[in-house]
């Protein structure tokens, strides 16, 4: 038993990354040796293309990955000028190509095989010349990409219809086009020991905290991950290692205008190549309740909708637990007419009120998952069948009660008001239901206090997660509890400051 527990601890323990990288192998001055090394590294992969050419009196080779480049530009813009130029054997061929032959500015030198591999796998063409230990890489990317379209999960009524796409450079241009400021910085790095995925940090110099920028870079460089396929895999390394909260302290957005708004407030955007969403740090709890439409409407209506979102959040997690706890331990607190309905419903069903509520919540989550994963035509069928079975047949058969189904339906509607908080709300409502059925109203109240204390104790890169509510700030009455007018919100942006003692928190995390 103890051995099994030790194995579980080792399995789920956080591994420290020592940051030691393998030494890079430099290119050789012999062309044949470089070609053989590349073929050995790629294991003669079918998409590796190597074409031998002659530049004056020297042998050369053009290396690229098939379907990652524009073949028309390769033939007409690179090979034709190179083969038609009369090279002098005494001149530096690489320098001649840069200054006299090619007219592109996307040129870079590769001194090691690792640099050459990274470039050609990113849509570059590598030119290796016999006698030189440097390869010239030319960017002529030509792989197929998805066009810019409106994001599906982050829809606004009055705003831009553009959303992020998979290519990194296009996402950078979407941000640069909206913030035409020379202080806007883009810094790239590669993470993923296998995938070597390119990641770009975007922030506004002089507005973003340099301490937070340094910490973000440090955590990304220490990310011990093999392959980056989703934004969540990177977000996990941006949060504290010992963070077990239900709520994420890293924001995710598919909208360039939303990300630009956060950048101007001093936040840092993390753009990942191949993923059509951008991470935002630091991220506060109050920002889950803010949308771009809040700043398109008048202040009074935006404040009204924001209060609706706050109410929807608490209803989504508390209503089933309160309903079960009152119906089980304190039914006299219901109004008389409602009590008669609920008592009749409980008496006519074979399950207890807690078991019935948990069962309906689980069935609803199963219906939701099946509707999301199945193709669209089958997804509609699942919704129709689920509505008929759960909504009509089960009630008529006396398996579940109509009041319980109504409570679950209200929770489902409220949870859709805040799509970014759906995951924690789905789990918390089941936990509140179990605690309410076992411990009553007092157990629900204690659990709510535990959840609130957990939220208040959380921080994002040294910034309190519940700021400016706790600790209290004047912004609370400007853009949290109420949404002030646009003239008030358009004041001068102040840099994000590190909280006292946050430098030590980084080492402890």
Residue position matching structure tokens 């398109």: 296
Residue position matching structure tokens 């890489």: 137
Please count the residues of the chain: 509
Convert the pLDDT of each residue in 254-309 to its tens digit. Answer: 899 889 989 998 899 999 998 899 999 999 888 888 888 888 888 888 889 889 99
Contact 241, 270 (CB under 8 A): no
Q: How confident is the model at residue 387 (pLDDT cuts 50, 70, 90)?
A: low
Convert the pLDDT of each residue in 145-188 to its tens digit. Answer: 777 887 877 777 777 888 899 888 889 999 999 998 889 999 98
Domain check: are 253 and 323 in the same one?
no
CA angle 102, 104, 108 (to 5 degrees): 95
Residue 258 is assigned to a structural domain of this protein: yes
Domain check: are 339 and 433 in the same one?
yes
Q: What is the pLDDT of residue 380?
A: 64
Q: What is the pLDDT of residue 90?
A: 57
Q: What is the pLDDT of residue 490?
A: 60
Q: How confident is the model at residue 61 (pLDDT cuts 50, 70, 90)?
A: very high
Domain check: are 175 and 276 in the same one?
yes
pLDDT surpassing 90 at residue 118: no
Structure tokens at 57: 């009196």
Domain check: are 129 and 265 in the same one?
no
Domain check: are 442 and 321 in the same one?
yes
Structure tokens at 385: 């069948």
For 444, list phi and psi in degrees, rounded to 5. -65, -40
Convert the pLDDT of each residue in 182-206 to its tens digit. Answer: 899 999 888 888 888 889 999 998 8
pLDDT surpassing 80 at residue 83: yes
pTM of the model: 0.81
Q: What is the pLDDT of residue 457?
A: 86
Query: Pick the residue with more confidence: 340 or 387?
Result: 340
Residue 498 is assigned to a structural domain of this protein: no
Residue 93 is assigned to a structural domain of this protein: yes
Distance between CA 340 and CA 335 in Å, rounded?
9
Q: What is the pLDDT of residue 309?
A: 92
Tell me the helices (H) and strands (E) count for the chain, helix number first: 20, 12
Cis peptide before 468 (omega within 30 of 0): yes
What is the enclosing helix (H) or strand (E) of 317?
helix 299-329
Alpha helices in 330-393 (DSSP H): 336-347, 353-373, 376-388
Domain check: are 74 and 118 in the same one?
yes
CB-based contacts of 489: which residues, under 8 Å, 6+ apart?
295, 478, 479, 483
Q: How confident is the model at residue 363 (pLDDT cuts 50, 70, 90)?
A: confident
Domain check: are 230 and 260 in the same one?
yes
Residue 464 is assigned to a structural domain of this protein: no
Which of 295, 316, 338 terminates a domain? The answer is: 295
Overall number of domains in the chain: 3
For 103, list phi and psi in degrees, rounded to 5. -115, 10
Residue 239's domain spans which residues? 168-295
CB atoms within 10 A of CB 384: 10
CB-based contacts of 471: which residues, under 8 Å, 6+ apart?
464
Domain check: are 264 and 390 in the same one?
no
Q: Which of 51-60, 331-340, 368-377 has the lowest mean pLDDT?
A: 368-377
Domain check: are 271 and 317 in the same one?
no
3 state SS for 189-223: EEECCCCCEEEEEEEECCCCCHHHHHHHHHHHHCC
E-state strands within 257-301? 268-272, 278-281
Question: In the predicted model, what is the mean pLDDT of residues 50-58?
Answer: 88
Q: What is the pLDDT of residue 496?
A: 54
Contact 246, 424 (CB under 8 A): yes
Residue 3 is assigned to a structural domain of this protein: no
Which of 436, 457, 478 terminates a domain? The answer is: 457
Q: What is the pLDDT of residue 460?
A: 84
Query: Which of 276, 277, 278, 45 shows the shortest CA–CA distance to 145?
Result: 276
β-partners of residue 75 are none
Query: Pick the residue with more confidence: 113 or 372?
Result: 113
Contact 110, 38 (CB under 8 A): no
Query: Which of 267, 268, 33, 261 shows the shortest CA–CA distance to 131?
Result: 33
Residue position matching structure tokens 């792989």: 143
Convert the pLDDT of each residue in 453-478 to its tens digit. Answer: 888 888 888 888 888 887 776 666 67
Structure tokens at 158: 């009055």
Task: Please count the CA atoms within 13 angstroms of the CA of 509 that sit on its side-chain side.
Answer: 24
Residue 153 is assigned to a structural domain of this protein: no
Domain check: are 117 and 192 in the same one?
no
Q: What is the pLDDT of residue 385?
A: 67
Residue 484 is assigned to a structural domain of this protein: no
Which of 440, 457, 474 terminates a domain? The answer is: 457
Query: Which of 296, 273, 285 shows the shortest CA–CA distance to 421?
Result: 285
Cis peptide before 471 (omega within 30 of 0): yes
Domain check: are 448 and 309 in the same one?
yes
Contact 468, 352 (CB under 8 A): no
Query: Which of 313, 317, 311, 312 shows the shortest CA–CA distance to 436?
Result: 317
Convert the pLDDT of each residue in 205-260 to its tens digit. Answer: 889 888 899 999 999 988 888 888 888 888 888 888 777 788 888 989 989 988 99
Distance between CA 285 and CA 123 in Å, rounded?
40
pLDDT surpassing 70 at residue 357: yes
Residue 411 is assigned to a structural domain of this protein: yes
Q: How confident is the model at residue 338 (pLDDT cuts 50, 70, 90)?
A: confident
Query: Which of 146, 138, 99, 105 shows the shortest CA–CA distance to 122?
Result: 138
Residue position matching structure tokens 């009660």: 401
Q: What is the pLDDT of residue 334?
A: 84
Domain check: are 277 and 305 in the same one?
no
Report the SS3 class of residue 116: helix
Q: What is the pLDDT of residue 508?
A: 40
């Amino acid at each position: 038993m103890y051995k099994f527990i030790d194995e579980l601890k080792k399995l789920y323990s956080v591994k420290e990354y020592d940051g030691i990288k393998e030494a890079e192998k430099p290119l050789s001055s012999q062309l044949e040796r470089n070609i053989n090394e590349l073929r050995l590294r790629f294991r003669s992969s079918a998409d590796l293309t190597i074409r031998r050419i002659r530049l004056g009196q020297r042998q050369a080779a053009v290396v690229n990955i098939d379907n990652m480049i524009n073949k028309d530009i390769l033939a007409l813009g690179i090979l034709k000028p190179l083969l038609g130029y009369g090279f002098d054997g005494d001149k530096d061929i690489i320098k001649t190509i840069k200054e006299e032959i090619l007219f592109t500015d996307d040129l870079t030198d590769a001194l090691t095989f690792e640099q050459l591999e990274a470039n050609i796998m990113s849509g570059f063409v590598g030119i290796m010349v016999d006698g030189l230990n440097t390869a010239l890489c030319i960017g002529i990317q030509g792989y197929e990409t998805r066009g810019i379209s409106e994001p599906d999960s982050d829809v606004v009524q009055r705003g831009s219809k553009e959303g992020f796409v998979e290519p990194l450079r296009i996402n950078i241009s979407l941000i640069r086009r909206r913030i035409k400021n020379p202080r806007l910085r883009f810094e790239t790095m590669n993470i993923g020991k296998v995938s070597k995925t390119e990641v770009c940090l975007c922030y506004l110099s002089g507005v973003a905290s340099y301490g937070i920028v340094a910490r973000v870079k440090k955590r990304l460089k220490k990310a011990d991950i093999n392959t980056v396929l989703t934004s969540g895999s990177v977000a996990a390394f941006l949060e504290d290692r010992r963070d077990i909260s239900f709520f994420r302290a890293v924001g995710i957005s598919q909208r360039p205008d939303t990300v630009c708004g956060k950048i101007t407030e001093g936040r840092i955007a993390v753009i990942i190549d191949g993923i059509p969403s951008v991470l935002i740090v630091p991220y506060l709890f109050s920002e889950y309740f803010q949308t771009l439409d809040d700043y398109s409407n008048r202040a009074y209506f935006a404040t009204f909708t924001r209060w609706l979102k706050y109410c929807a959040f608490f209803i989504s997690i508390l209503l089933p637990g309160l309903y079960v706890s009152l119906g089980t331990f304190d039914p006299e607190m219901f109004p008389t007419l409602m009590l008669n309905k609920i008592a009749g419903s409980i008496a006519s069903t074979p399950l207890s009120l807690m078991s019935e509520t948990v069962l309906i919540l689980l069935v609803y989550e199963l219906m939701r998952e099946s509707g999301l994963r199945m193709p669209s035509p089958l997804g509609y069928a699942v919704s129709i069948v689920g509505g008929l079975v759960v909504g009509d047949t089960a009630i008529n058969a006396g398996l579940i009660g109509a009041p319980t189904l109504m409570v679950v339906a209200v929770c489902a509607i409220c949870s859709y008001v805040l799509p970014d908080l759906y995951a924690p709300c789905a789990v918390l409502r089941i936990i509140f239901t179990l605690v309410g059925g076992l411990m009553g109203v007092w157990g629900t109240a204690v659990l709510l206090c535990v959840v609130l204390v957990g939220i208040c104790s959380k921080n994002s890169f040294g910034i309190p997660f519940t700021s400016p509510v706790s600790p209290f700030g004047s912004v609370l009455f400007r853009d949290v509890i109420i949404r002030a007018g646009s003239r008030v919100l358009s004041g001068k942006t102040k840099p994000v400051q590190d909280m006292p003692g946050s430098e030590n928190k980084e080492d402890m995390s």
